[in-house]
Amino acid sequence: MKDIPMVGGNMIDFRKEFFADERPEVLNEIGKPTRRQDITGHVTGRSPFYDDHQFEGLLHMRCLRSPHHAARIRRIDSTAAEKMPGVVRIVTGRDVPRNLNTLLSLLDFGIDDEPIIATDRTRYRGEAVVAVIARTDREARDAAAAIRVDWEVLPHVLDVEEAVKPGAPAVLDIYPNNKFAYHGKYDHQKLRFGDAETAFAQADHVIEGRYQMSPIEQAPIETCGAIAAPEQDGRYVCYTSTQALFFSLGTAAKVLDLPSSRLHFIGGTVGGGFGGKVDSIHEPMAILGAILTGRPVKFMWDREEEMQVGAPRGAELWYVKDAVMRDGRIIGRKFTGYFDSGAYTRLSSYAIIKGVGHLPGPYTIPNVHADVYCVYTNRTPATAMRGFGITGVDFAIEAHMDKVADTLGMNPIELRLRNAYRDGDMKAHRRLAKNCALIECCQVVAEKAGVKLSPELAALSSTKGGGGDRAQMPAFTRTDENGRVEGYKPWSYARKDGAKRDPIPPGMAPPPQQPAPTYQASRPPSPSWGGDGGGGQTQSGGSAPPASPPPNPPAAPARPGAMRFSSLSGFRRR
């Protein structure tokens, strides 16, 4: 292949002077143009997207959807639709074997809260109420439009702060205050590290800000969908746009109450995903259609559905409050966050755990306090998108850093350099920072932006000056019982009492003490999920779902110097 320069000038700037001693010069691919392994299919139009599979006698499924944000379904009358040309089957929620699911239940995370097809109530505009299977797409649309629903419109709430006020309409009965229950204990994800209140009392400046991010539609050019068809021996093949094939397989098996051995999933060719093709709705719908009709069935969103019904990146609202010293040191940071989950949980509860683990951003701040709420509203349920759980709060943090710099009259790059984490620093989620490179990035940004750094700032390095006192856990962490909830099973994430399975598999119980702050390669890292594993003294964020196994102990590096750049396994420079 020809050596082609990067598009648009020098878009990638390799700064090999940084961390040169940690990196062998064995970059065989990086920095050189390469061909995708699937590109021949793409340029010949032969890459097999789910909708490119042909089936004789393919039927089409379309849904009648709720025109209301919140409503009770009094009666569904589909008698006229049943008699319309081409109609093969009307499908309601009663046809779904197990018509209640929450996506992360496969990880023992969360309470089943969402029907595949609504039966008695709808909680967002566009929620599916009835599905029609017909010979053509147009016949399915016409019949769906002929179904009459007797609605009782209910009060709705579309704003997170309205939703958490007393007396707001409850979106889901199992979360009467419109807040997910974390660890079975609190109505928010709590992070306590040090004592932010004392920091505010000691600070030269206390700087507050409010930041908001709208929902964002992933908008893939290929709309979400699946085609399912009966195969031999009671199996069903399913071609799908999913980004999460085995996740969709597990969800379909659960919802349809079928062993997964009867489901043959084919995917992997995705016409743009960006995180929005993980909700596992189309596969169970299409397979259900194939089961009910004995024919191949396609369930595919049109563009309007993709935009209205397709789950976006959820809206977020953040309050950030910083305790700042005159020299630019941030000594305390407090967050109150509201993550708009929409009408159902899907992945939002987990996104917040991830987001809270990320706090207070890439800065070493000795006192951090966060209460982050997963809030239910009557908006389209939210789901994953690039940087899931992190993007909204990062926007808030960085916008706030600029505000702090502005208040101090300090260059924003300098403020970041003064607070940037360094290798060996203790982070608020009680792990040591490693492989930091923020200082170096800021130095390059300053250079490119023509900002002259003082010799002191220009000499900073991520590998120098971290650890030591900065590696210590706070001497005192202020804790509280705010937001305590009852009626959920402890040790788990919002499991109701009476859950049949023991949520803690043998050997997986959280450690009795806080996880050790240091990371040692000679043994597996201590799981940091705690439930109340810290004896009620601390609640650390940033933990993995409880039932997932601890990461494997890292293997020895393949060669010296490979550490920083072998990050996929989570094993990097210590």
By CB under 8 A, name the one of 8, 409, 498, 507 that touches other proteins.
8
Interaction of residue 387 with other proteins, rule CB under 8 A = no
Cα torsion angle, 164, 166, 172, 175, sign: positive
Cα torsion 185, 187, 191, 194 to 10°: value is -80
Interaction of residue 303 with other proteins, rule CB under 8 A = yes
318 to 357: interface string for other proteins, x by CB under 8 A: ----------------------------------------
Token pair listed for 248:
């969709």
- The window from 147-155, 213-221, 414-422, 425-433 that contacts other proteins (CB under 8 A) reads 213-221
DSSP state of 111: -
Token pair listed for 555:
């293997």
Of 410, 523, 427, 516, residue with least CA distance to 467: 427
> H/E element holding 106?
none
Interaction of residue 37 with other proteins, rule CB under 8 A = no
HSE value, Cβ hemisphere, 13 Å, CA-based, for 188: 20
Integer angstrom CA distances of residue 81 from 73, 84, 134, 299 = 18, 5, 10, 18
Q: Which of residues 94-153 bind other proteins (CB under 8 A)?
A: 136, 138
By CB under 8 A, name the one of 158, 209, 264, 274 that touches other proteins.
274
Q: For residues 101 and 255, is the Cβ–Cβ distance under 8 A?
A: yes
Place of tokens 């009626």: 487
Token pair listed for 221:
């050019």
By CB under 8 A, name the one of 10, 37, 54, 522 that touches other proteins.
54
Of 175, 92, 95, residue with least CA distance to 131: 92
Q: Which of residues 162-191 bind other proteins (CB under 8 A)?
A: none
Nearer to other proteins, 48 or 215 (CB): 48
- The window from 15-23, 45-53, 185-193, 194-202 that contacts other proteins (CB under 8 A) reads 45-53
Integer angstrom CA distances of residue 240 from 225, 471, 560 = 6, 47, 43
Q: For residues 181 and 111, is the Cβ–Cβ distance under 8 A?
A: no
Interaction of residue 440 with other proteins, rule CB under 8 A = no
By CB under 8 A, name the one of 45, 166, 259, 560 that touches other proteins.
45
Nearer to other proteins, 88 or 372 (CB): 88
Nearer to other proteins, 49 or 319 (CB): 49
Interaction of residue 41 with other proteins, rule CB under 8 A = yes
By CB under 8 A, name the one of 13, 25, 29, 46 that touches other proteins.
46
Taking the complex as a whole, the smallest distance from the CB of residue 32 to other proteins amounts, in Å, to 12
Interaction of residue 222 with other proteins, rule CB under 8 A = yes
Give the footprint of other proteins on this chain (CB under 8 A).
1-2, 4, 7-8, 33-36, 38-47, 49, 51-52, 54, 58, 85, 136, 138, 219-223, 269-274, 302-303
